Amino acid sequence: MAIQWFPGHMLAARKKTAETMENIDLVIEVLDARLPQASSNPIITEQRLFRQRPCLKILNKADLADPTATKAWLTFYNAQKDVTAVALSCKKPSDVAKIPGLCEKLAPHRGTSEKPLRMMIMGIPNVGKSTLMNALLKRRIAAVGDEPAVTKSQQRINLNDHMTLIDTPGMMWPRIEHDTDGMMLAASHAIGRNAVIPEAVAAFLGDILLVRYPTLLSARYSISVEDMDGEDLIDAVAKRRSYRLKGGEYDREKAALMLLQDYRDGTIGRISLETPESRKAMLHAHALALAPQPEGGA
């Protein structure tokens, strides 16, 4: 199932961030630590590279992600030019307190009262940008909500006398190239629920969890997951939780929503939906699928 979600206000946000990029010193890109590359907007990368701006990549929600996968992602990103990556939780003040110092190292030529360090917080919807903004300022400035696309316009706030923050709306890109990215984003609630079918997304999520985290699933739902696929898992959750419709059939939609919420809340355990290696394999398979086939077959 291909998922696409690009509300109208995001087109204006894209134009505005391109304009603002010219007048800032670095980008703070907030990613979901459970799916860092799938949650990285290529438009943000394109805009900052065009203006040659350094980037602090924050792998947020690291407390929900698989630590082994997160370590691999930090190695991957920190090998990139003008990029520093850090894994943390924007809900933990001690984690957030590290960010200004990391930003100063990326732009050492700025950071005085005469030349304040100008930072723009960017990322996809519902990834934690507003939570980060509020934590940095130690007061509620940005609206925070469980639904994606709560922030609709830019805000510019002075962090102190030598640092300025610009919060931006969550921004998707017009076309999600890889179907698996769309499904991972939907599973992680970065895409509006009106654009997805919960049972399809939950089945996709279940397929990943059954391969990588079967023990966590067995422990959470007290079921045997041997020889299951994602659809079977939804049925098993419905049966275990006694989710039934009026006619007596199992309520698969309710079970799917339960599975998705348990993943999002970290109730199942610390889970990552992609690693640098799985990402590389996915891109390789995609390239092979698009490659022209020789006449007469392989």
Percent of the chain surpassing pLDDT 70: 92
pLDDT for the residue 116 = 94
Total of domains in the chain: 2
pTM strictly above 0.75: yes
Residues 39 and 108 placed together within one structural domain of the fold: yes
Flag whether pLDDT at 224 surpasses 60: yes
**Residue 80 resides in a domain:** yes
Residues 158 and 224 placed together within one structural domain of the fold: no
Percent of the chain surpassing pLDDT 90: 71
**Residue 295 resides in a domain:** no
**Residue 172 resides in a domain:** no
Sign of CA dihedral 181, 188, 15, 131: negative
Flag whether pLDDT at 148 surpasses 50: no
Residues 137 and 197 placed together within one structural domain of the fold: no
Between strands 155-160 and 163-167, the pairing is antiparallel
pLDDT for the residue 55 = 98
pLDDT for the residue 45 = 95
CA of 233: how far to CAs of 223, 254, 262, in Å? 9, 13, 13
Q: How confident is the model at residue 202 (pLDDT cuts 50, 70, 90)?
A: very high
**Residue 129 resides in a domain:** yes
Residues 275 and 228 placed together within one structural domain of the fold: yes
CA of 66: how far to CAs of 36, 185, 248, in Å? 12, 17, 38
pLDDT, tens digit, for every residue of 80-119? 999 999 999 999 999 999 999 999 999 999 999 999 999 9
Residues 38 and 87 placed together within one structural domain of the fold: yes
Residue 266 domain boundaries: 179-289
Residues 189 and 277 placed together within one structural domain of the fold: yes
Q: How confident is the model at residue 198 (pLDDT cuts 50, 70, 90)?
A: very high
User: Coil, strand, or helix at residue 292?
Assistant: coil
What is the rounded average pLDDT of the residues 50-62?
Answer: 97
Average pLDDT over all residues of the chain? 90
Which residue among 142, 167, 192 closes a domain?
167
User: Residue 129: which of 100, 158, 111, 149 has the closest Cα?
Assistant: 149
CATH of the domain at 22: 3.40.50.300
**Residue 5 resides in a domain:** no
